[in-house]
Amino acid sequence: MVAHPIPSQAALAAVESEAQSFFSDTHGCHGWDHAVRVRASCLQLGQEEGADATVLALAAVLHDIGRKFEDASPGCVCHAQKSAELAAPILARHGIPPETIDAVVDCIACHRFRGTKVPRSIEAKVLFDADKLDAIGAIGIGRAFLYCGEHGALLDGGTRGSACVPLESPGHATRREFIEKLSKLKDRMTTPSGARRARERHAFMEAFFKRLGAEAAGEL
């Protein structure tokens, strides 16, 4: 593992401030609070996996700064690639060394669930896992409801004029999100630490959606 120099606190704060500015008009499901939680998870997983904390901290706060461009496209822009493109000049402006910038940009470019780039460095794997952990468990349930609400989906699977096709099929929208995406995340983890946490979060989430389905069907 390459040992990356630790930036000054002023440089880290400046990068964080600039990163946060990209979230002023994003959907709440992928707001600044998501980036902060991913950073916390990255640092925990990274310590267990022997990853570089500097690269992880920078990658976490910058990994979704391109999200609003994807939302506005809609879907024509890959937010992971856009975030990577935006991150490089931000890091350079604040004096982050080129080798650290390359490592951070690589992490960001590889973090998307539906992306084609596979995370290969330990830092990229940790960011990928931390991002996915924030989509499952109790916080994942909350974000699933928030996401469905943002896209006009009703609890019974109907919509309010939403163009979000996966949520328009019959069945509860949040349960469909669980079945089609969230339930698959535990099998996509790339680190032992991430996989262990994902199994526990998945079990909690699975029990919740089983209960939701039973209540919706009038069984409870």
How much is the pLDDT for 169? 42
Q: What share of the chain in percent tops pLDDT 90?
A: 58
pLDDT surpassing 70 at residue 1: no
How much is the pLDDT for 115? 61
Whether the full predicted model's pTM is greater than 0.85, yes or no, is yes
Structure confidence at residue 25 as a pLDDT band (50, 70, 90): confident
Q: Cα separation of 186 and 108, whole Å?
A: 20
Q: Which domain range does residue 164 map to? A: 135-220
Question: Residue 97: is the preceding peptide bond cis (ω within 30°)?
Answer: no
**Tens digits of per-residue pLDDT, 74-114?**
768 889 999 999 999 999 999 999 999 999 999 999 998 77
**Tens digits of per-residue pLDDT, 176-194?**
778 778 889 999 999 999 9
Residue 70 CA: distances (Å) to CA of 77, 78, 83, 176, 215: 5, 6, 10, 22, 35
pLDDT surpassing 60 at residue 165: no
Q: Cα separation of 28 and 113, whole Å?
A: 19
Domain termination site, one of 62, 88, 122: 122
Domain termination site, one of 64, 94, 122: 122
**Tens digits of per-residue pLDDT, 38-51?**
999 999 999 999 99
How much is the pLDDT for 116? 76
pLDDT surpassing 50 at residue 212: yes
171's tokens = 């069945």
CATH number of the domain residue 162 falls in: 1.20.58.1910
pLDDT surpassing 80 at residue 126: yes
CATH number of the domain residue 94 falls in: 1.10.3210.10
- In the chain, how many domains are there? 2
How much is the pLDDT for 155? 62
What are φ and ψ of residue 36, in 5° steps?
Answer: -65, -40
**Average confidence score pLDDT of the chain:** 87
Task: Give me the mean pLDDT over the 2-13 stretch.
Answer: 88
